[in-house]
Structure 1
Amino acid sequence: MTLTLRALLGACALGALATAAAAETTITVATVNNGDMVRMQGLMDDFYKQHPDIKVEWVTLEENVLRQKVTTDIATKGGQFDVLTIGTYEVPIWGKQGWLVPLDNLPASYDVDDILPKIRSGLTVDDHLYALPFYGESSFTMYRKDLMKKAGLEMPEKPTWAFIKKAAAAMTDKDAGIYGICLRGKAGWGENMAFLSAMDNSMGGSWFNMDWKPQFDTAPWKETLTTYLDLMNNYGPPGASSNGFNENLALFQQGKCGMWMDATVAASFVTNPKDSTVAKDVGFAMAPHKEGVDKNANWLWSWTLAIPAGTKKEEAAKTFIEWATSKEYTDLVASKEGWANVPPGTRTSLYNNPKYTEAAPFADLTLKSIDAADPKNPSVSKVPYTGVQFVAIPEFQAIGTAVGQQFSAALAGQMSADQALQSAQSLTEREMKKAGYIK
């Protein structure tokens, strides 16, 4: 072979490599460090087999940090991410502002009509879908059946807060490192305030009245916060003001919690014997309510995948999110991890599938909890906003986190319940006046 021919062949090979590299699109996906998202990253070989021309780079962050990063990036048009993991709060607000790519004309095989109506409604603005749900959730009560039996109690399907307090006291054994109740304490509008806002609904309260006046100076919020602090100070784990979803999940899996009120998506993780030391002893009930109040302390949420407007990789991003939220992805997880561990709460077909309902003892109660949540009527009184565990206005992200910091400080013993409520009332009034809601 002559040098000239070798040079020509070498040039051709380099050209082919350059063409392949040019054809490959790399998208950056910002996501939360929850178990279902981490599991997806381990199943990417399936996606790459189908789409060898697309590569995915992950930015996996703790919930509060993720929200701050993606909000800053999209508001400033930073362009760091091609796919965002965002929730039911952000999607309609950002969609209305033109910050997200509308997901119209999905292929028939995707079966968009299979998405649960309550979940789909929260992701739709003016008949345009702006995100695809990776998993959907409400919240309910998870508890140790063995400890409940030992305490001589039986968990009702719809427990009251009075029963929860009684059970927490009976199940607590601090010498054995068992705490009767674990609840979110970490500050954040989507951390402790998700739980406390839903709890306040169940006490008959609300964030605002019809004139947008904050309600932290009313009886329901006082009952909410004092009941929460009483439960956590007497029957909760130490350092609870730092605990969010993942921290409480770990505590429950390790057998440290008698009861845990949190996201229904946790159910597969607390009943999986690979991860949970108490898997065979876990029972489920609806989120608690106050006797005489017809609202449970359960929320409605979906972690979704959305595409920021302005990305130069829209088609690749759309291909990825269709795969990650498809029926085929559900089947993939089922084949690798078992039906009980598939992402829940998004598709009607999943709850009509006997393979799932037989494998997942929590399936029926998850669907009941999702159906029981009413974002259009979150409180027993009439309110000017939608959203169960959040208020669907742009200002809520900052206000909710600031209020969450006051309540987390009260849990840490840095201020009293009355001081925290007074501070929450004044800072919320100030911000609502500044935003023009209150004249």
Structure 2
Amino acid sequence: MIRTKTILAATTATMLAGPALAQTEVVWWDFLAGGDGVRMKALIEEFNEEHPDINITATTLEWGIPFYTKVRTSAAVGEGPDIMTYHLSRIPLALEEGVLSPITDDDLEAAGLSTDDFFPSAVDAASGPDGTLYAVPFDIHSIVLYYNKSYLEGTEFLDDNGELTGIDSLEDFNRALEVAEENGSENPLSFQTGGEGGVWRVFYTLLGQQGGQLIEDGEVLPGDNTEKATRALEIMRDWREAGWIPEQAEYEASVALFTSGQSAFHMNGVWEVPTMTDMAAQDTLGFEWGAVQVPTLLDETATWADSHAFAIPVQGEDEMSEEKRDAVMTVIGWMNRNSIGWADAGHIPAYVPTTQSDAYQSMEPNATYASLADTAFFDPRSEIAGVASPVYDTALNIMIPSIHGFFPPEEAVAQLKDELEGAMD
């Protein structure tokens, strides 16, 4: 009798509490490591806490070729995630491979978003040739110029507020490098001179600042773009011959040259801002630093840029259910509206309301270089360009040897054209 009463009481309590809340699982893949990974995990945890009806199950995979190879194979058999991070520079190749599901106006509405919420350059990079959206931008990340104030104190390159000034041309920048060397900087300018990523980003910035294009109308370096590419490599070679940049520095070494105080300047992505911020907070940096948009060294303002975005892969022959798709778009909308947490990683949120917010405008040096979103120079819209592409291979196999004196820039550009034209066949 006692047991019967207990069962009845439990049943009554369950009925009063109502039915259990159904939960939609969203399978998530990303390639985010280091500080990026820490911040994204925090955002995912916060989302899950706020949404008892949706649970993100996240997996982090290896950046670059391994990630995109797995996306391609999993999409073909319908074993991929429901949502994934994606580089917008890979959109042309993704369309050729047929791995992305279009993002419709209804999808954006479900997320509480519209294309007007984002920087136009990011929307353009996220779209196909016909204007169809294939990903939702999350950030714009670019290279910036980090600087060590101690090498510039008392010079024309540091203003009364301790901010970088007076660099309005290549000649100005070269003079600043000379001054830094005179003041004891061993490698006045550090960047990844021994790896494809760093070399490509600096080369492409210098190409863009001449109004150059790597690929136009299906041609590699047509017209005077050949001369502009040669000029970009000549500038980088001249820096090496002057002893201003390190020999064959891999990524970690290039960062260490700056953080250890050996380099006065450092060209690298905004994603290293947390490194500098954290070291400064821990009193392990040893100097005051700043970061600005890469100055206009040549004819016009342009800086290499890419975007992290959210994309929905195709599911083999299957269609994602309406319930799952609504959940995925809920995730994407929430991530963008809460992207101030991502800005902490140094990135410029692609969601304009975030960059216009008081919280973002008070972030330094982020707000200082946010203007580069308007002059972002994205990789060529081509199947052979973007992260882990033949273009990056040419940076490794052709540009680096040329910069380090193994063959002249003119020969390097001729080889580059041959390699990329072959990849387009």
Please give the range of the TM-score, normalised by the shorter of the 2 chains: 0.7 to 0.9
**Structure 1 equivalent of residue 231 of structure 2:** 223
**Structure 2 equivalent of residue 118 of structure 1:** 121
2:264 to 238, 242, 258: 258
Aligned counterparts of 2:293 and 2:216: Cα–Cα separation in 1: 30
- Asked if structure 2 preserves the Cα contact closer than 8 Å seen for 1:157 and 1:286, the reply is no
Taking a change above 3 Å as real, the CA distance of residues 342 and 181 of structure 1, as seen in their structure-2 partners, is closer
Task: State the one-letter code of the partner of 1:402.
Answer: D
User: 299-308 or 25-34: which moved more?
Assistant: 25-34
Matched residue SS, 1:140: strand
- Asked if structure 1 preserves the Cα contact closer than 8 Å seen for 2:185 and 2:264, the reply is no
Task: State the one-letter code of the partner of 2:268.
Answer: D
**Structure 1 equivalent of residue 398 of structure 2:** 407
User: 410-419 or 352-361: which moved more?
Assistant: 410-419
- Asked if structure 2 preserves the Cα contact closer than 8 Å seen for 1:406 and 1:424, the reply is no
- Asked if structure 2 preserves the Cα contact closer than 8 Å seen for 1:141 and 1:285, the reply is yes
Aligned counterparts of 2:111 and 2:218: Cα–Cα separation in 1: 46
**Structure 1 equivalent of residue 11 of structure 2:** none
**Structure 2 equivalent of residue 394 of structure 1:** 383
1:185 to 190, 193, 201: 193
- Asked if structure 2 preserves the Cα contact closer than 8 Å seen for 1:271 and 1:279, the reply is no
**Structure 1 equivalent of residue 245 of structure 2:** 236
Length-normalised TM-score, structure 1: 0.73
Deviation at residue 107 of structure 1 after TM alignment = 4.2
Matched residue SS, 1:237: coil
- The question of 1:353 aligning with 2:357 is answered yes
CA deviation digits over 1:100-140, x for unaligned, max 9? 24153234773433222332232234454322222213443
1:282 to 285, 290, 294: 290
Task: State the one-letter code of the partner of 2:420.
Answer: T
Length-normalised TM-score, structure 2: 0.75
1:168 to 164, 174, 177: 177
1:424 to 416, 420, 423: 416
Deviation at residue 59 of structure 1 after TM alignment = 1.6
- The question of 1:372 aligning with 2:383 is answered no
- Asked if structure 2 preserves the Cα contact closer than 8 Å seen for 1:141 and 1:259, the reply is yes
RMSD (Å) for aligned C-alpha atoms: 4.2
- The question of 1:324 aligning with 2:335 is answered yes
Matched residue SS, 2:394: helix
**Structure 2 equivalent of residue 307 of structure 1:** 312
Deviation at residue 228 of structure 1 after TM alignment = 0.9
Matched residue SS, 1:407: helix
Deviation at residue 27 of structure 1 after TM alignment = 0.9
- Asked if structure 2 preserves the Cα contact closer than 8 Å seen for 1:115 and 1:347, the reply is yes
Aligned counterparts of 2:402 and 2:78: Cα–Cα separation in 1: 37
Deviation at residue 427 of structure 1 after TM alignment = 1.6
Matched residue SS, 2:200: helix
- Asked if structure 1 preserves the Cα contact closer than 8 Å seen for 2:336 and 2:351, the reply is no
Aligned counterparts of 1:344 and 1:236: Cα–Cα separation in 2: 27
Aligned counterparts of 2:60 and 2:132: Cα–Cα separation in 1: 27
Aligned counterparts of 2:194 and 2:63: Cα–Cα separation in 1: 12
Aligned counterparts of 2:25 and 2:291: Cα–Cα separation in 1: 46
Task: State the one-letter code of the partner of 1:407.
Answer: I
Alignment map for 1:73-84 (pairs within 5 Å) = 73-74=74-75, 76-77=76-77, 79-84=79-84
Deviation at residue 168 of structure 1 after TM alignment = 2.3
Aligned counterparts of 2:225 and 2:167: Cα–Cα separation in 1: 28
2:201 to 194, 216, 231: 194
Task: State the one-letter code of the partner of 2:422.
Answer: R
**Structure 1 equivalent of residue 94 of structure 2:** 94
Aligned counterparts of 1:250 and 1:152: Cα–Cα separation in 2: 26
Gaps of 5+ in 1: 7-18, 374-387
Aligned counterparts of 2:333 and 2:82: Cα–Cα separation in 1: 14
Matched residue SS, 1:36: helix
Aligned counterparts of 2:88 and 2:412: Cα–Cα separation in 1: 28
**Structure 2 equivalent of residue 15 of structure 1:** none
Taking a change above 3 Å as real, the CA distance of residues 120 and 254 of structure 1, as seen in their structure-2 partners, is farther
Matched residue SS, 1:163: helix
Deviation at residue 260 of structure 1 after TM alignment = 2.1
**Structure 2 equivalent of residue 30 of structure 1:** 30
Deviation at residue 55 of structure 1 after TM alignment = 3.6
Taking a change above 3 Å as real, the CA distance of residues 94 and 62 of structure 1, as seen in their structure-2 partners, is closer
Task: State the one-letter code of the partner of 2:309.
Answer: T
CA deviation digits over 1:219-253, x for unaligned, max 9? 3222211221332461223442x32xx66455534
Deviation at residue 201 of structure 1 after TM alignment = 2.4
Task: State the one-letter code of the partner of 2:201.
Answer: A
Aligned counterparts of 1:211 and 1:322: Cα–Cα separation in 2: 35
Aligned length: 394
Higher RCO (CA 8 Å, separation ≥ 6 residues): 2
User: 278-287 or 352-361: which moved more?
Assistant: 278-287
Task: State the one-letter code of the partner of 1:371.
Answer: D
Deviation at residue 304 of structure 1 after TM alignment = 0.7
- The question of 1:206 aligning with 2:210 is answered no
Deviation at residue 308 of structure 1 after TM alignment = 0.4
